[in-house]
């Protein structure tokens, strides 16, 4: 049996709204993560694993890594189906998978992720409470899959950096900065011409330290050669002062004809 095959799958539909898409009509990466996390919250609620229930155990779920394969970004007014599964867990880490599909059941994106529970008092990672994972019919395993580690970011003369102030409205009802907003900071640092001439292929994300309301983060990026002539790699870091908050590596498809 494949890992996580026994786990319950939850699905829901979402129409991509104009305010979730960029000027080219492609859904933003922030929205892709927003709707994936929405589906996982809806699954959790449906299983009685509400935020309140999780908090009553003295913890909160925190994502530490994402690895995303993107076949095609959803576009404006398209209705997609999001499927989510809490596939497996070991004593400290939970492995969750997401599939985003179009109306013809073609895969648009496949996202894997690693989650931990953090103590609300100490803000430290604590052992997973079985009560918080068994309702997903997650598979108890010794080792969960390792997600690719983003390239270790190095500042060079060619690094592009921009500051972003964390806003009041970046904090969502979960009381933390919605970490999908990191993607707006990460990608906005790239020139508009770059964003128009490239489509996302793969994204590896590793979160390290949480950013807080009022912080000014620095989003930095290096543009690197890809494995193929028509691909480019970007290596990103979000930092607050000297503290690294996350590192991201993105593989892009260079388009023969840029988006308009």
Residue 62: how many other CB atoms lie within 10 Å: 17
Binding-site member from 142, 169, 241, 242 for a copy of itself (CB under 8 A): 169
Residue number, 4 or 44, with CB nearest to a copy of itself:
44
Q: Which stretch binds a copy of itself (CB under 8 A): 116-124, 136-144, 185-193, 220-228?
A: 185-193
Residues 194-233 that bind a copy of itself (CB under 8 A): 195, 213-214
Q: Would you say 88 or 200 has its CB closer to a copy of itself?
A: 200
Cβ count within 10 A of residue 78: 17
39 contributes a contact to a copy of itself by CB under 8 A? no
Options 119, 155, 156, 165; binder of a copy of itself; rule CB under 8 A: 165
For residue 167, the minimal CB distance to a copy of itself (Å) is 4
Check residue 80 for interaction with a copy of itself (CB under 8 A): no
> By the 8 A CB rule, do 95 and 114 touch?
yes
| Helix or strand (DSSP H, E) at 114 | strand 107-119
Check residue 17 and report its DSSP letter: -
Instruction: Choose between 38 and 147: whose C-beta lies nearer to a copy of itself.
Output: 38
Q: Is residue 48 a contact point for a copy of itself (CB under 8 A)?
A: no
Phi-psi region of 37 (alpha: psi -120 to 50; beta: other; left: phi over 0): alpha
Helix (H) or strand (E) holding 186: helix 181-188
- CA gap 108, 35 in Å, rounded: 13
Task: Establish if 172 lies at the interface with a copy of itself (CB under 8 A).
Answer: yes
Site size for a copy of itself (CB under 8 A): 35
- CA dist 223 and 217 (Å) reads 20
* 200 phi/psi in degrees, rounded to 5: -70, 140
In order of 35, 72, 116, 213, the CA distances from 11 in angstroms are 11, 19, 23, 32
Please, which residues bridge with residue 69 across strands? 110, 202
Among 13, 23, 127, 149, indicate the residue that binds a copy of itself (CB under 8 A): 23
Nearest CB to a copy of itself, comparing residues 36 and 109: 36
Cβ-based nearer residue to a copy of itself, 44 or 138: 44
Binding residues for a copy of itself (CB under 8 A) = 17-19, 21-25, 28, 30, 34, 37-38, 41, 76, 162, 165, 167-169, 171-175, 178, 180, 184, 187-188, 190, 192, 195, 213-214
């Amino acid at each position: 049996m494949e890992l996580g095959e026994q786990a319950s799958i939850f699905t829901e539909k979402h129409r991509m709204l104009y305010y979730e898409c960029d000027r080219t009509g492609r859904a933003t990466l922030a929205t892709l993560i927003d709707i994936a996390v929405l589906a996982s919250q809806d699954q959790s609620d449906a299983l009685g694993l509400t935020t309140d229930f999780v908090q009553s155990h003295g913890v909160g779920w925190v994502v530490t890594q994402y690895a995303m394969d993107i076949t095609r970004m959803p576009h404006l007014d398209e209705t997609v189906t999001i499927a989510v599964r809490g596939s497996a867990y070991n004593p400290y880490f939970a492995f969750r998978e997401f599939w985003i599909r179009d109306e013809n059941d073609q895969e648009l994106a496949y996202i894997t992720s690693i989650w931990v529970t953090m103590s609300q008092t100490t803000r430290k990672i604590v052992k997973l409470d079985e009560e918080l994972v068994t309702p997903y019919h997650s598979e108890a395993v010794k080792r969960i899959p390792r997600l690719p580690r983003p390239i270790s970011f190095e500042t060079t003369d060619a690094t592009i950096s921009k500051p972003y102030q964390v806003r009041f409205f970046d904090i969502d009802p979960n009381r933390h900065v919605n970490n999908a907003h990191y993607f707006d900071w990460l990608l906005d640092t790239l020139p508009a011409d770059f964003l128009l001439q490239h489509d996302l292929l793969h994204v590896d994300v590793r979160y390290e330290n949480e950013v807080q309301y009022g912080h000014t983060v620095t989003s930095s990026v290096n543009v690197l050669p890809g494995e193929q002539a028509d691909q480019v790699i970007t290596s990103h870091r979000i930092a607050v002062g000297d503290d690294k908050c996350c590192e991201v590596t993105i593989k892009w498809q260079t388009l023969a004809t840029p988006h308009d």
